[in-house]
Amino acid sequence: MRGLILTTLIITALILLVRELSKLLRKQAVPVPGQTPDAQLLKRPGKGGSPSDPVVVESASVIEAHAVGQDCAACASPVSVEDHRAERRGERRLRVVEVKCRHCARRQLLYFTIRTSAG
């Protein structure tokens, strides 16, 4: 009986700890009121996180599926596509996808380029 009570107390303590950690992470991920929208955009490290290092794809039709397959850089939750546009940066043509986290609402930009048959 004593073991059951001890196990119950440990599980309860772990649940409370996880809840508190979740709250802390959410507080850190919430946009600050008064910030400009650009200041609220998260910078994603790695491939696709900047115009100078876009993800190379074979077709525009796979871009949004690839974007929603990424997790939020702030809280690792699923994201949804808010905007998908084509941009020209010098001689480069890029696809820019803005995604929004379904949990913390942070926005991120993902950059793609479409492989050409000559490239």
> Using an 8 Å Cβ cutoff, are 112 and 87 in contact?
no
Q: What pTM was computed for the model?
A: 0.63
Q: Would you state the CATH architecture of domain 42-119?
A: Roll (2.30)
Of residues 80, 72, 81, the one with CA closest to residue 40: 72
> What mean pLDDT is predicted for residues 23-33?
55
Q: What confidence category does residue 23 fall into, taking pLDDT thresholds of 50, 70 and 90?
A: low
Q: How far is the C-alpha of 33 from the C-alpha of 100, rounded, in Å?
A: 17
